[in-house]
Structures are given as structure tokens and as C-alpha cells.
Amino acid sequence: MVEIIGVSYSYDRRRPILTGINMVVPRGKVVAIMGISGSGKTTLLRLIGGVMKPTTGSVIVDGQRTNELDRDGLYRMRRRMGMLFQFGALFTDLSVYDNVAFQMREHTDLPETMIHDLVMMKLDSVGLRGAHHLMPSELSGGMARRVALARSTALDPSLILYDEPFTGLDPISLGVTRNLVRKLNDALGSTSIVVTHDVQEALDVVDYVYYLSGGKMVAHGTPEQMRASTDPLVRQFVWGEADGPVAYQYPGRDFREELALV
């Protein structure tokens, strides 16, 4: 479904964000892109969505090179994509119902009676059919994330992109959202790419993991392989160890020298 070949991206020559990235995302799978904050995860997601073009290399989505598509071609490609933004990004002035109906009204000529049935089906799939009349300001964080998930699947996309879907959720909402990612992917026959640094939650539902560090792909494998990895960087990240390749102490002079100066 997605193939990334030798992709590098930089804002200018002195600020490389991604370097030499290679990835393959098979159809029907749930694949995670992991790494600490600032490792380039969201940038990679934007390249897949065609929001940005790689400095070098190619991003191929469903057989199309995104960097070669014009504006109309990008819009056609994105109609087959769903996107769950970080923190949901619901339209605050639209009701839950209208948030989910938005894409159907924008991109189809379906009658309102059919849109009504489809919206209710999408909301029912995330357990919020009874909340269709509420406004985003009336929702809890977990409910808002589920509405955003229903909206991202409104047009039955072949590819769903998730940007930090678990951030800021309580344990119950996190568990519900995590299970929905897997359930909806399998029910729709979609392919999902999940950008996250919530390790254990993601490893429970994904099929494969790519691990980024410093803009480079340093490891990849199944969840079992990642948990069993002896690579110090991967191990520190997966198990949340305080010290390791990512140092606990910010670089500075020896502490004894600092005390001697007082």
C-alpha cells in the first residue's frame, strides 16, 4: 500500500529532518512508526499524505508517487485516505453528527437520508450513536477522539493515518481507542499507519514497527522482535529506561567541579 524509497527531507541544508528512510507498508496491516519526540515521525506522515514533498527519494501510495502528483491528483489520492489528527481536531462549531457527515457532503452526491444512515453507522461503530447531537465542547477527551475516528473512516478509506492517537487519554479511553484502531482496520479492510510514542499500547495491536531516531530508521520488526531487541536504543525506548543512549543528564561539566566553584 505504501512504499518509501530512500527518502530524505530537510527544511534547509543545515537542518536535516529525515535521512535515507526506507519502509514498506503491506495492504491490510497496521504498522506503527515509533520514536521519541522530534525524531521525524509526524514529518514522515505528512510526506505520505502529500502535505510535503521529499527532498530526495520517493513516496509511493497505492502505486502513485506523491511527489509527482499535481493538486488535483493529490486531492483524488487523499479521498481514499482517512486522517486522525493529534487531539482529534474536530470542527468546534459543528455537532458530532455534522463533523462525521462533513466529508460525505463535501465529496459525494449522496442524499441526506443516506448520509444520515451512514453517519449513524459510523458513530455506532465507535459507541457514540447516542451522542450525535452533542457539540465538541460537550465531549470528554476520549469521546472526542472516538468522534474523530468515526470522521476519519467516513468514506471507508483504503489507508488511515493516525498522528499520536493515544496522547492525553485516560486508561479506559486509551484502551478503547487502541482496540478501535485494530477493529476498524480489519472491518474496513483498510491499511493503517500509526505514529506514536505510546509503546506498549501500540505493540498490543500493530503488525509491524518501524523505529526512528534522529531522523534515521534504526530498527524495525514485529512487536515481539522489538520487545526482545538487545539494541540499547530500542531497548531503552520500548521499556522506558531512564538512562541509556538517550542520556538522563543534560551534557555539562563534572558535578564535582561545579561544587568546587561555589
The DSSP 8-state label assigned to residue 7 in this structure reads E
Q: Concatenate the DSSP letters of all residues of 30-44 into one string.
A: EEEEE-STTSSHHHH
For 204-262, the pLDDT digits (tens) are: 889 999 998 888 898 999 999 988 888 888 888 888 777 777 777 777 778 777 787 66
Which single residue is written with the C-alpha cell 442524499?
111
Residue 48 lies in a domain: yes
**Residue 91 located in a structural domain:** no
pLDDT over 90 at 176, yes or no: no
Total residues found in the chain within this entry: 262
Q: What is the domain extent for residue 212? A: 2-80+157-260
Question: Which is nearest to 193 in space by CA: 215, 205, 5, 228?
Answer: 205
Rounded to 10 degrees, the C-alpha dihedral 204/209/211/215 comes to: -130
pTM for the predicted model, two decimal places: 0.86
Percent of the chain clearing pLDDT 90 (strictly above): 41
pLDDT for 116: 95
Q: Which three cell numbers stand for residue 228?
A: 526482545
d(CA 45, CA 162) in angstroms, rounded, equals 8
Contact present, 190 and 157 (Cβ < 8 Å): yes
Q: Give 254's DSSP letter.
A: -
* Axis-axis angle for helices 112-125, 96-107 (nearest 10): 130
Three-state secondary-structure class, residue 193:
strand
Predicted confidence at residue 38, as pLDDT, reads 77
Q: Report the sign of the C-alpha dihedral through residues 98, 120, 195, 242, in that order.
A: positive
Integer distance in angstroms from the first to the last C-alpha of the chain?
A: 61
- Residue 135 maps to a domain: no
**Which pLDDT value is given to residue 261?**
67
Q: What phi and psi values does residue 140 have, to the nearest 5 degrees?
A: -75, 170
CB 21 within 8 A of CB 44: yes
Report if residue 73 sits inside a domain. Answer: yes
The percent of residues in the chain predicted with pLDDT above 70, rounded, is 99
pLDDT 10s digits, 95-133: 999 999 998 998 889 999 999 999 999 999 889 999 999
- The answer to whether residue 58 sits within a structural domain is yes
Position 41 in a domain:
yes
Per-residue pLDDT band at 85 (split at 50, 70, 90): confident
Predicted pLDDT at 105: 93
Does residue 86 lie within any of the structural domains? no
Identify the CATH number of the domain in which residue 173 sits.
Answer: 3.40.50.300
Does the structure show a pLDDT above 90 at 50? no
How much is the pLDDT for 32?
93
Query: What is the Cα–Cα distance from 38 to 40, expressed in whole angstroms?
Result: 6
Burial degree of 59 (CB within 10 A; 0-12, 13-18, 19+): buried
Domains of the chain: total: 1
**Does any domain span residue 104?**
no
Mean pLDDT taken over the chain: 88
